[in-house]
């Protein structure tokens, strides 16, 4: 009987610890307000992974490694093993690889891609895991998350179903997040030519996820002046590519954007509500 009582006590304290840990997690990372939306730009290294917590979960890319699992564990309740939407912007490994681990761990309702084909082992695994849920995304497609919160596809102009592009970056899915009165542009890895093509569709924005880890192949001065971001976030780590380019940093300075970098600032959280937006950093 004494042994049984000890087991009950241990089980009680384990349950209590789980409840306390959950409350702390919600306090640190979650939202108590139903009308507050979080857009996370995760520090996943040299690549992209963005998570939108709008009571409908959307994961946009998964970064280059399995670190995305750690990130999701931090922001989702421990019991939550479902994600409503995954969007794979293009099949390069620095955006795609982490999604493989996500698909193995989480139940995902719908997966969107640009339809591009790509001849790599990682892409083949992703394709096998996502085959029954995948659909193509192009201009005109949108997802409504709740009243006054939606994401709209503004590139590519057409899906690339079954096509192999010379440069997969050119076919990256670009998303405009409308979050109450806040506009957030997620440019994936598009280049300057694609930026010119979408200028008229974007207009003035609040927050820019800078294209291609701050590469000089993106973020032209013309583009930045046209969209006039207040805040710019660069997803990057120490690398041999010269990212972010000093030229891009200078262009962002010229338009008056406050620049955050995941290699310096850690996870960047954009908290949107009817009152505007706030930036929080988690190093």
- The answer to whether residues 74 and 156 belong to one domain is yes
Domains in the chain: how many in total?
Answer: 2
- The answer to whether residues 43 and 15 belong to one domain is no
- The answer to whether residues 3 and 76 belong to one domain is no
What is the pLDDT at residue 19? 42
pLDDT per 10-residue tile (average), the chain, 283 residues: 52 43 45 76 98 94 98 94 97 98 96 95 95 91 94 95 95 97 98 97 97 97 98 96 97 98 98 97 95
Gap between the Cα atoms of 67 and 98, Å rounded: 7
Gap between the Cα atoms of 192 and 121, Å rounded: 29
What is the pLDDT at residue 32? 42
Gap between the Cα atoms of 245 and 214, Å rounded: 6
Domain span at 13: 1-30
- The answer to whether residues 93 and 229 belong to one domain is yes
What is the pLDDT at residue 133? 87
What is the pLDDT at residue 55? 83
- The answer to whether residues 8 and 80 belong to one domain is no
- The answer to whether residues 93 and 169 belong to one domain is yes
Gap between the Cα atoms of 246 and 259, Å rounded: 12
What is the pLDDT at residue 175? 98
CATH label of the domain that carries residue 261: 3.60.15.10
* pTM for this model (two decimals): 0.89
- The answer to whether residues 11 and 61 belong to one domain is no
- The answer to whether residues 138 and 12 belong to one domain is no
- The answer to whether residues 82 and 15 belong to one domain is no
Residue 118 bridge partners (DSSP): none
Neighbours of 133 (CB within 10 A): 15
The kind and range of the H/E element at 70 are helix 67-75
Q: DSSP per residue over 122-149, as a string?
A: HHHHHHHHHTTTEEE--TT-EEEEETTE
Helices vs strands, H then E, count in the chain: 8, 15
Gap between the Cα atoms of 81 and 66, Å rounded: 16
- The answer to whether residues 92 and 224 belong to one domain is yes
User: Is 130 exposed, middle or buried (CB count within 10 Å of its CB: 0-12, 13-18, 19+)?
Assistant: buried
What is the pLDDT at residue 267? 98
What is the pLDDT at residue 132? 82
- The answer to whether residues 163 and 238 belong to one domain is yes
- The answer to whether residues 7 and 104 belong to one domain is no
């Amino acid at each position: 009987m004494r042994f049984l009582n000890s087991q009950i006590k241990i089980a009680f304290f384990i349950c209590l610890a789980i409840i306390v840990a959950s409350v702390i997690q919600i306090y640190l990372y979650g939202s108590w307000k139903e009308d507050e939306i979080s857009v996370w730009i995760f520090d996943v290294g040299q690549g992209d992974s963005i998570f939108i917590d709008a009571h409908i979960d959307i994961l946009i890319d998964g970064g280059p490694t399995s670190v995305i699992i750690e990130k999701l564990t931090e922001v989702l309740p421990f019991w939550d093993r479902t994600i409503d939407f995954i969007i794979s912007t293009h099949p390069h490994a620095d955006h795609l690889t982490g999604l493989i681990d996500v698909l193995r761990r989480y139940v995902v309702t719908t997966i969107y891609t640009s339809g591009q084909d790509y001849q790599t082992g990682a892409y083949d695994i992703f394709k096998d895991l996502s085959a029954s849920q995948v659909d193509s995304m192009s201009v005109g497609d949108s997802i409504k998350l709740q009243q006054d919160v939606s994401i709209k596809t503004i590139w590519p102009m057409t899906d690339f179903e079954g096509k192999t592009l010379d440069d997969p970056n050119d076919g990256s899915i670009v998303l405009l997040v409308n979050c109450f009165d806040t506009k957030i542009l997620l440019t994936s890895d598009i280049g300057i030519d694609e930026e010119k093509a979408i200028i008229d569709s974007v207009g003035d924005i609040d927050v820019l996820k800078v294209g291609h880890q701050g590469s000089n192949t993106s973020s032209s001065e013309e583009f930045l002046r046209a969209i006039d971001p207040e805040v710019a976030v660069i997803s990057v780590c120490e690398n041999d590519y010269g990212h972010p380019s000093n030229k891009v940093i200078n262009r962002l300075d010229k338009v008056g954007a406050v620049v955050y970098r995941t290699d310096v600032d850690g996870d960047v959280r954009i908290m949107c509500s009817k009152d505007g937006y706030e930036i929080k950093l988690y190093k």
